[in-house]
Amino acid sequence: MTIELYKLPGCPFCAKVERKLDELGLEYVEHDVPGSHAARTEVAELSGQTGVPVLVDEEHGVDAMAESADIVAFLEETYGDGTTA
């Protein structure tokens, strides 16, 4: 199982997702993205936009999920007890 998180250091939305991943005890690969939206070509190719965080969880059919609230809900539903606290 490989979960990947595209994030920007210091981004509060990315930190929210990282906290949930850590809380659930999940291993994941971090990809720090450039500060400049124009330089985020890898994220754009994956998700069609340049915002972060972006989560990839191929085992569960997630090619590129954006929006921290959606990611946290997905993680809780898939790996947790189904409640989003």
The structural domains of the chain, with segments of one domain joined by +, span 3-79
Confidence of residue 82 (pLDDT cuts 50, 70, 90): confident
Please report the pLDDT score of residue 84 as a whole number: 54
pLDDT at position 81: 83
Assess whether pLDDT exceeds 70 at residue 28: yes
pTM value? 0.92
Which CATH number is correct for 3-79, 3.40.30.10, 3.40.47.10, 3.40.190.10, 3.30.70.270? Answer: 3.40.30.10
Kindly report, residue by residue over 53-72, the tens digit of the pLDDT. Answer: 999 999 999 999 999 999 99
CA distance linking residue 60 with residue 19, whole number of Å: 20
Specify the higher pLDDT residue, 39 or 82. Answer: 39
CB 52, CB 6: distance < 8 Å? yes
Structure token digits, residue 33:
């993205």
Token look-up 């720090």 returns 32
Cis previous bond, 12, omega within 30: no
Question: Are β-strands 3-7 and 28-32 bridged in parallel, bridged antiparallel, or unpaired?
Answer: parallel
